[in-house]
């Protein structure tokens, strides 16, 4: 969730609570004011009626909504002299029962007789009042909430522009590549410090990257020389006619180990270069001729195992990428299919405009789909000629070139599918 959206949601919940409390207070205030106004009106009317009653001129008072009844001394003593209430009562002038505000007051005339005067006035029903206030409060509430959120989001977005500029720069940044300068001028201290920290860490990453490239290159070259010398000396030693059969077999084993070290060294160097993005050149590569050429070479190399090769083309798989990486992807997928096959098995390649699928006969059950692209993962058995890095290199090439590679076990075949990831 974006920061601005999270802030807006928290602000919305806070405003909901504040405005809800405000609306309840507003309703209570309006209700209290209405009661006070009605009570004052009832007091004035009651005073007028009492004055006329004491003067003996009560019949001259026009209107309805009041009643006068006599009380005994005991009844007058038991009742409060003034009391207000909300009732639904019958009002003669309206000829129906309505919500009313009622005032009952007890007084005594000059002769010492007690009376109870009841004065009532129709009021707006509480439900009607609640609905009217609620409608206006909701309208005001919604308009205020939308306005505050819109203004807040707009201000936050403007204030967060330096942060978004930094995030876009970090997303596009590639260690060792040609990166544009960070153009995010800001007067906000925190954002300025964040930009400075990002620049420092980028410079540190570039320095480490350069040293790593230099170390890998030097280590590779330094290892290749003694490995080549050892291989040459073993070949010269194997030509010695005085050596016995067991000694020659031991020399052959050592040569196979050295060959494995050479392949491993080259694979690790290639994998490191791929992950460091050292193949910036790109052009459109057609995989069809590349697959046919490499398949023929590998079929000759592994011809003694009787492996059948089949290629089905339903389209032309073309990708804009580095040609060296394309060749490395094809070689590693095909070599993996031939090496991890069974005698008399088959290698099937299916190609469409959007995908490339390489399958080979499985000697056992399915592989671990979550680990199959890990370095040095070989499943249940180790095959001669395998360094355990072929699929890791293929996965690194796909990741660098915006492709996606997946594994599936289909009808006794290990299948690896390369397709566009949607990010190209």
DSSP of 267-295, one letter per residue?
Answer: HHHHHHHHHTT-----EEEEHHHHHHHHH
pLDDT top residue among 100 and 277: 100
> How many Cα neighbours within 13 Å face the side chain of 229?
6
Using alpha carbons, select from 303, 336, 295, 328 the residue that is nearest to residue 396: 328
Residue 416 has pLDDT above 90, yes or no: yes
262-306, pLDDT tens digit by residue? 777 777 777 777 766 666 778 888 888 888 888 888 888 887 888
| CA distances from residue 269 to 226, 262, 272, 367 in whole angstroms, order as listed | 17, 11, 5, 26
Residue 150 has pLDDT above 80, yes or no: yes
Instruction: Give the rounded percent of residues in the chain with a pLDDT score beyond 90.
Output: 5
Query: What residues have CB less than 8 Å from 204, skipping those under 6 apart?
Result: none
Query: Please, are residues 320 and 283 in contact by the beta-carbon 8 Å criterion?
Result: yes
* 357-375 mean pLDDT: 85
Whether pTM > 0.85 for this model: the answer is no
CB atoms under 10 Å from CB of 227, counted, come to 15
* 107-115 mean pLDDT: 85
* 393-409 mean pLDDT: 88
| Separation of alpha carbons 147 and 20, rounded Å | 17
| Separation of alpha carbons 391 and 406, rounded Å | 11
The CA-CA-CA angle for residues 340, 344, 350, to 5°, reads: 65
pLDDT top residue among 81 and 277: 81
Round the CA-based radius of gyration of the chain to a whole number and report it. 46
Q: Name the band, by pLDDT with cuts 50, 70 and 90, for residue 58.
A: low
| Separation of alpha carbons 243 and 241, rounded Å | 6
Question: Counting beta carbons within 10 angstroms of the beta carbon of residue 199, is it exposed (0 to 12), middle (13 to 18) or buried (19 or more)?
Answer: middle
pLDDT, residue 62, reads 52
Q: Which residues share a beta bridge with 51?
A: none
């Amino acid at each position: 969730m974006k920061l601005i959206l999270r802030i807006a949601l928290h602000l919305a919940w806070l405003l909901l609570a504040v405005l809800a409390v405000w609306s309840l207070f507003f309703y209570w205030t309006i209700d209290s004011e209405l009661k006070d106004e009605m009570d004052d009106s009832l007091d004035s009317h009651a005073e007028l009626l009492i004055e006329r009653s004491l003067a003996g001129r009560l019949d001259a008072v026009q209107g309805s909504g009041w009643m006068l009844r006599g009380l005994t001394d005991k009844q007058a003593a038991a009742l409060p002299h003034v009391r207000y209430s909300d009732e639904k009562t019958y009002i003669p002038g309206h000829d129906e029962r309505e919500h009313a505000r009622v005032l009952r007051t007890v007084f005594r005339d000059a002769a010492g007789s007690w009376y109870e005067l009841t004065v009532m006035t129709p009021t707006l029903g509480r439900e009607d009042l609640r609905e009217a206030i609620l409608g206006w409060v909701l309208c005001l509430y919604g308009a205020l909430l939308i306005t505050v959120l819109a203004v807040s989001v707009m201000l936050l977005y403007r204030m967060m522009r330096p942060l978004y500029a930094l995030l876009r720069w970090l997303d596009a940044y590639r260690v060792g590549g040609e990166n544009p300068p960070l153009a995010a001028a800001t007067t906000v201290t925190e954002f300025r410090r964040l930009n400075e920290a990002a620049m420092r860490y980028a410079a540190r990453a570039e320095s480490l990257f350069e040293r790593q490239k230099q170390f890998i290159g030097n280590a590779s070259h330094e290892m290749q020389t003694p490995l080549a010398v050892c291989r040459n000396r073993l070949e010269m030693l194997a030509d010695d006619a005085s050596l016995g059969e067991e000694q020659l077999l031991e020399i052959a084993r050592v040569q196979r180990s050295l060959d494995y070290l050479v392949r491993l060294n080259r694979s690790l160097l290639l994998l490191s270069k791929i992950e460091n993005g050292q193949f910036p050149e790109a052009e459109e590569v057609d995989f069809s001729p590349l697959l046919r050429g490499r398949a023929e070479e590998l079929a000759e190399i592994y011809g003694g195992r009787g492996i059948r090769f089949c290629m089905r083309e339903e389209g032309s798989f073309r990708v804009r990428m580095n040609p060296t990486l394309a060749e490395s992807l094809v070689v590693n997928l095909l070599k993996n299919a031939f090496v991890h096959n069974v005698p008399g098995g088959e290698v099937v390649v299916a190609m469409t405009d959007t995908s490339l699928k390489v399958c080979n006969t499985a000697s056992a059950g399915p592989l671990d789909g979550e680990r199959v692209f890990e370095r040095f993962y070989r499943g249940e058995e180790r095959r001669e000629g395998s360094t355990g890095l072929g699929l890791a290199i293929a996965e690194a090439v796909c990741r660098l070139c915006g492709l996606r590679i997946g594994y599936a076990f289909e009808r006794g075949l290990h299948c690896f599918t390369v397709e566009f990831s949607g990010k190209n």
